Amino acid sequence: MNFRGLLIVVSGPSGAGKGTICKALVKRDPSIVVSVSATTREPRNGEEHGIAYHFYDKAAFLSMIDNDGFLEYATVYDNYYGTPKQFVIDKIASGENVLLEIDIQGALQVKKKYPEGIFVFVLPPSMKELKSRIVGRGSETQESLTKRLSSAYSEIEYIKNYDYFIVNDTVEHATDVLQAIISAEKCRVDADIEEIVSKFKEETENA
């Protein structure tokens, strides 16, 4: 009944668990298409082109920027990262649902280019829990921990730009909620509603 697919943008502060939820979602529903980022950084051992990332050289990446080829992009330590636009647009046009996991700055850029997307903000169950998750990774100094927490603190303000929030209390429950959001959004009365009404009218004439 839904003609266009959905772009589901899952975002939130780092440590909230958005990656885990996205993996769990795709495992449950393999029909969901995952958006693969492009980057100019070198492939690491075992990273395949088109699976981990689309690996581009800098000239190709810059040319894509010039041609409005990204839903969003950013530079991190001299490397470019971005979300190729055409892939997402084509999949949606063919009725497929595309999942994009991305940080908050990226999500805000995507929203400008594709406001029809479904923007989901993943919250940790509490900031206490977020802290213990980041500490649990064991890779943080006291300084970087303080920085991460303070960044998460201020990033939560951006929730206002989103359509939905999910509290990541358990992966199971958070994935349930993400699935429910997708099911519900497929039934939204939106721009396609005229087509639905026409379909029913045709059928009435043949009834």
* Residues within the interface to a copy of itself (CB under 8 A): 1, 121, 123, 126-128, 130-131, 149, 152-153, 156-157, 159-160, 162-167, 176-177, 179-181, 183-185, 187-189, 193, 196-197, 200-201, 203-204, 206-207
Q: Which among 84, 77, 90, 80 is positioned nearest to 5, based on CA atoms?
A: 90
* Rounded least distance, CB 52 to a copy of itself, Å: 30
Nearer to a copy of itself among residue 99 and residue 152 (C-beta) = 152
152, 130 contact by CB (below 8 A): yes
Nearer to a copy of itself among residue 102 and residue 152 (C-beta) = 152
Q: For residues 111, 115, 116 and 119, what is the CA-based torsion angle, rounded to 10 degrees?
A: 30
User: CA-CA distance, 167 to 126, in Å (whole number)?
Assistant: 9
Q: Which among 29, 22, 6, 33 is positioned nearest to 166, based on CA atoms?
A: 22
Nearer to a copy of itself among residue 96 and residue 169 (C-beta) = 169
Token pair for 84: 């190729």
* Rounded least distance, CB 1 to a copy of itself, Å: 6
Residues placed in the known binding site for ATP: 12-19
Nearer to a copy of itself among residue 87 and residue 158 (C-beta) = 158
